[in-house]
Structure formats: structure tokens, C-alpha cells
Amino acid sequence: MGQGDWQKAGQKGGIPGGLGSGRKWWKDAVIYQIYPRSFQDSNGDGIGDLQGIIRRLDYLEALGVDAVWLSPVCKSPQDDNGYDISDYQDIDPMFGSLEDMEQLIAKAGEHGIRIIMDLVLNHTSDEHPWFLEAKSGKDNPYHDYYVWRDGEPGAPPNDMRACFGGSAWEWVPQLGQYYFHQFSVRQPDLNWDNPKVRQEIYEMIGWWMEKGVGGFRLDVIDQIAKAPDEKITGNGPMLHTYIRELSRETFQKGDLVTVGEAWGASPELAKLYSCPDGSEFSMVFQFEHIELDKQEGKQKWDLAPLPFLKLKEVLNRWQVSLYGCGWNSLFWDNHDLPRIVSRWGDDGKYRAESAKMLATLLHGMQGTPYIYQGEELGMTNVKYPIEDYRDIETRNMYRERVQAGYREEEVMASIYAKGRDNARTPMQWDGSENAGFTNGEPWIRVNPNYRDINAANQVGVPGSVFEYYRKLVALRKGYPVLTDGRFKLLLEEDEKVFAYLREDEGHRLLVLCNFFGEPAKCNLIASWEKETLLIGNYEDAGAGPGPEEAGILRPYEARMYLAKKG
Ligand code: TEU
Ligand code: CA
């Protein structure tokens, strides 16, 4: 389908790509994630906005991405940076207006880019009119939109904890009841068992579909069917019943991409979420691989080195089990995760090499690759004093752990390694003040390395991380084996090299990645050296290395070879 066609289809809620129809556009797509408040400010208030994004559409088109997932831009008191929505059908004035949003959808379309909205359906803001009504009286028609339990002050229904700290139950004295919240107190959970809630949500989604959005990312969708009396949050008994109804009543009426965020997904569950019959979502967005560097059974803050062989095992298991019967998202970074180059690469000497290696490893696999803003520049983590962090999760954790007697240095080390603000520092556009992000005071400090690491230094500059990403995106369009080829892990027990094959009827594609900062022997090179080197992160790779380098991958070296069969 041409670009004009999908826009029309989207606007009319048209059928192409609906349930049961042929090839899906999003299988060959690359998705770019924007965290709007940190992307580009257009009016000097220090906060990124929709007009800022419109200004940067050329940049996104140059990179070659097909769709942009916007973290929430709806009306919100911003307790959790927009993941606390007070009006699903309006844009927060901080980001612009509904007209700006319509303009963004239209202009992005002219660049061949679809806009994916972030749907936060597990909870609302405590300022949402539904919640204001709900807490005004037990007889209010909206009361049952949320999850309440009778009780006594100081004695919550059970000991469940909220994700951002404290009890999951909040006492409302005038009702003599507690409400349930899995995230902050200002994010009360919606009651999905109430059919009226579900109906309101479907109507709201239909309204956005009419506006021509290209799809939706569904925030913590595995947690909507909670059953707090049984202490169940994720994967509740009614979950897939609700998701199928949601999909049928909304997404299946259009040609959309839908992405279910599911921290608690196993490959078996992922086959339900992303079943090729289209009964739920297009794909799942799960985190098993990205949670490996923590102490077992503990929180992400309890740091542990990455078990490299385990990473291979996990990625391999997902590749193999979803082949032909599900679809996965491929990502290292998002707005909740630290920067991958600082995390599993080297943000010092080998910053560019390791950023490219990690990109190669990811973009060679089956699934839909995601690029999180700044990842394509090799942006890095930050180390700020605690006052400079803005994230509610980080601030609450700091307070709780310091009170609990953790050493200050230890708490800060966890924040440097895993804090969500690592990903939320302003996009580094150029070397001018505030990295070209704003001419006002940025809402969060700019990473001090912006004079070295920025888009102006990289776009169109051969050898840059940006140009490498651009090439990877283009390869996905040029070689169907990247979309469809069967995955096979090689060198399973190799402690240094991540190697795999992709294979379809016509081609074999080999990805070789030295995951570490020392040279690594790799006996696969010899038999592939004569094949086409599609991409590599060392200039002279493929030019025939000197005898002393034969069979060696240099620090963080990555290569992708293609061989024709037969
Ligand atoms: O994240 C889901 C989620 O479980 C995270 O809170 C996660 O536990 C945490 O970020 C790990 O550090 C989604 C959104 O992506 C996140 O930004 C929101 O804060 C959260 O839902 C609540 O809406
Ligand atoms: Ca602004």
C-alpha cells in the first residue's frame, strides 16, 4: 500500500490490513520512539512539544523510520510525565493543542511516517473527571470505574505494594474506602470488570482512529485485569478476554500497528498477544532480555553484571518460539531504561563501536526494531546530584532506600546505572547552548557531553553512529531475509562473540558481534570472508584483514554478511 492509501485507510477507519488479510506493513517497519518532553522545544518554555517534533520530521525521514511512537501527550498533571492522563481526548497544553496533533499526523504522513499514540488504559490521573466523580460518593455512577475496598484507616485490605513505592491502597476518608493503584497514588487503577469502563475506552480509541493515527502502544496492558483480593496484578484471569474484546471493538476496524507492553509475558503468552490471526495485538513488547543485569528475585536497582550466555539464551528462545506464530519488538532502550551504550557497551573509548555493535545485534533479528530517541547518536547515561533528577520512580526509591539505611553512594550507583532519567535528558541536536533542544531553561539538565555527541556532528557524516543506524534501517527494507528469515543461534557457549544466522529460501545472513572490549577469535570468519559484507563497524572489515588479524573480531566489532544460496 502506498503512503496516501494508508492515510486514507486510517482516516476512514478502512479495512486493509484488518483481521485475516495478507502481509502486514509493520513487519518490515522500524519504529522510532519519541519522549516528547525531551525531544525538541519550540517555544522556549524548556519542554519539548508537538511543534518541535514537526520541525524535526526531516531528521526522522533521513533516518528512514516508518512510524513514531509518542510517549503520552494527552492532558495530564504530569505526576508520572503524562502516564497519568486526565483527558484522553485532549492534548496537554504543555505539548500544544489538538490542532497541533492533527497537523503532526498530517505532516508526518507527508514524510511517510505514521504516528503511534501511547494508550494508558490501566489507570488514569486522580484528576480525571471519572475519578473526581468516583470519589465524590459511593452511589456516584462513576464510582465503580475504579477499584475500591471498604476498610478502616491504617489497615489496608492487604499488603500489596505500588510500583513507585508505598502501599497499593490509598485511604479516602469521606468514603471510608481504599482505592487501588499499581503505580503512584495519583494513578488510580481503572476497573476493567466494569463494562461501562471498557465501552468508554473503545469510543475514545475510535475517536483517535478517525484522526488518522497509525497505531497504539498499550501501556502495561498485562496489568489491566487485576484481581487485588488474590494479589494478582499481571496476567489476571480475564486478561485475554478483555484484550480480544478491545481489539475487536477498535483496532481490527483499521490498518493499525498495536504494541502491547507486557513485563510479565513469556513466549507462550506472547503467542496470544501477537497471534497472527490479529485477535489481540500486532506485537508484544516484553523485557526478559533487558532485565538480566540485576540480582535474582530483586529489583532493578540491585545491580549485577550481565550474564552474557544467559542473554544469548533468552534472545534465542524468543526468536525461536515466536517464529511463524507471533511477533516481537526488538529494543535495547526506551524511556524507562538506561542508555544501552553505557549499560552493555562502552561509553568511553569504544562508544561509537559498541553503539554500532549493539545496533547490529538487535537489527539483525526477527521482529520490529525500535530506536529510542538519541540511541541513533550513541547518547549516554548521566551522573547528576540527586536534586537534578525529576523521575518519580527515582526520587521515591532514593527516599525509601536512604531511610532504610542504604549507603548514599550505593543508592546513587543504582540511579546512575538504572534511573529512568538517563533516557530522558534532552535530545542532543547540536553543540549550541542546551544542545539545540531549547532556548529556555530545560526541564531537566542536558547531558554535559552534548558538544561531542549530537546530531549535527553525525547526520551525513560517514562513519557516524547515526549513519550506521540509517544503513541498518535501509537494509531491513532491502533484504526480506531480515524480516522473514529463520533464526539460528551459533557459538552458543562462546563467552565473547554473539553469532547467529538468518535464513530463507534464497539467502543466508550471518551476524557476528564481539560483545566486549578485547579482541575475540571467531572461526566463522574464514568461511564467510568471501561473501558480501552488508555492514560492519570497522572501516576496513571485509577489505581482507592482515594475517595477524585473520579470524579475529576487534573490540566490539560487528559484521553482517549475506550469502546467496545454491
Ligand atoms: O511502564 C511499566 C512499568 O512497569 C514501569 O513502571 C517499570 O516498572 C519501571 O519503569 C521500571 O523502571 C509503563 C510506562 O512505560 C512507564 O513510563 C510508566 O511510568 C508506567 O507504565 C505507568 O504508566
Ligand atoms: Ca515547549
Ligand 1 centre and the CA of 337: distance in Å?
A: 10
Residue 304 near residue 344 (C-beta atoms within 8 A):
no
Q: Which of 70, 183, 329 to mutate to test the pocket of ligand 1 (most atoms within 8 A of CB)?
A: 183
Report residue 543's pLDDT band, with 50, 70 and 90 as the boundaries. low
pLDDT of 547 reads: 58
CA of 263, closest atom in ligand 1:
4
> Looking at residue 389, what is its pLDDT?
98
Asked whether 220 lines ligand 1 (CB < 6 A), one says yes
DSSP 155: B
**Looking at ligand 1, which atom is closest to the CA of residue 120?**
23
- The closest-lying atom of ligand 1 relative to the alpha carbon of residue 418 is 12
Query: What are the residues whose beta carbons fall under 8 Å from the beta carbon of 21, sequence distance 6 or more?
Result: 15
Q: What percent of the chain has pLDDT over 90?
A: 93
Ligand nearest to the CA of 42: 2
Distance 391 CA to ligand 1 centre (A): 11
Residue 161 CA, chain-centre distance (Å), reads 24
- With the most atoms of ligand 1 within 8 angstroms of its CB, the residue from 78, 83, 226 to mutate is 83
DSSP characters for 213-237? --EEEETTGGGTT-BGGGTB-TT-T
DSSP 266-331: -HHHHHHHT-TT-SS-SEEE--GGGG-SB-TTS-TTSB----HHHHHHHHHHHHHHHTTT--BEE-
Band of the pLDDT at 550, cuts 50, 70, 90?
confident
Atom 23 of ligand 1: nearest residue by CA position: 83
What is the model's pLDDT at position 552? 95
What are the pLDDT digits (tens) for 328-386? 999 999 999 999 999 999 999 999 999 999 999 999 999 999 999 999 999 999 999 99
pLDDT, mean over the chain: 95
CA of 76 to the centre of ligand 2 (A): 15
Q: What does the pLDDT read at residue 545?
A: 53
Q: Is 83 in the pocket of ligand 1 (CB under 6 A)?
A: yes
Q: Is there a catalytic annotation at residue 261?
A: yes
Contact 398, 404 (CB under 8 A): no
Return d(Cα 97, Cα 100) in angstroms, integer.
5
- Report the alpha-carbon distance of residue 441 to residue 246 in Å, rounded: 41
Looking from the CA of residue 182, the nearest atom of ligand 1 is 22
Closest residue by Cα to atom 20, ligand 1, is 83
Residue 99: active-site member: no
pLDDT band of 19, cuts 50, 70, 90: very low
**Angle, alpha carbons 24-25-30 (nearest 5°):** 130
- What global pTM score does this model have? 0.96
The tens digit of pLDDT for each residue in 440-472 reads 999 999 999 999 999 999 999 999 999 999 999
Pairing of strands 257-261, 283-285: parallel
Instruction: Report the largest interatomic distance among the alpha carbons of the chain, rounded to a whole angstrom.
Output: 82
Cα 306 from chain centre? 20
Cα(439) to centroid(ligand 1), Å: 30
Cβ of residue 391 lying under 6 Å from some atom of ligand 1: no
Q: What is the pLDDT of residue 84?
A: 98
Q: Is the CB of 287 under 6 A from ligand 1?
A: no
Compute the distance between CA of residue 220 and CA of residue 155 in angstroms, rounded to an integer: 28
* Residues 85-135: tens digit of each pLDDT: 999 999 999 999 999 999 999 999 999 999 999 999 999 999 999 999 999
* pLDDT, greater one: 2 or 168: 168
pLDDT at 542: 57
- Of 339, 539, 371, which Cα lies nearest the Cα of 469? 371
Structural element, H or E, at residue 169: strand 169-172
User: Does residue 163 have its Cβ closer than 6 Å to ligand 1?
Assistant: yes
Those residues whose beta carbon sits under 5 angstroms from the ion ligand 2 are: 41, 43, 45, 47, 49
CB 183 within 8 A of CB 80: yes
Instruction: Answer yes or no: is the C-beta of 336 below 6 A from any ligand 1 atom.
Output: yes
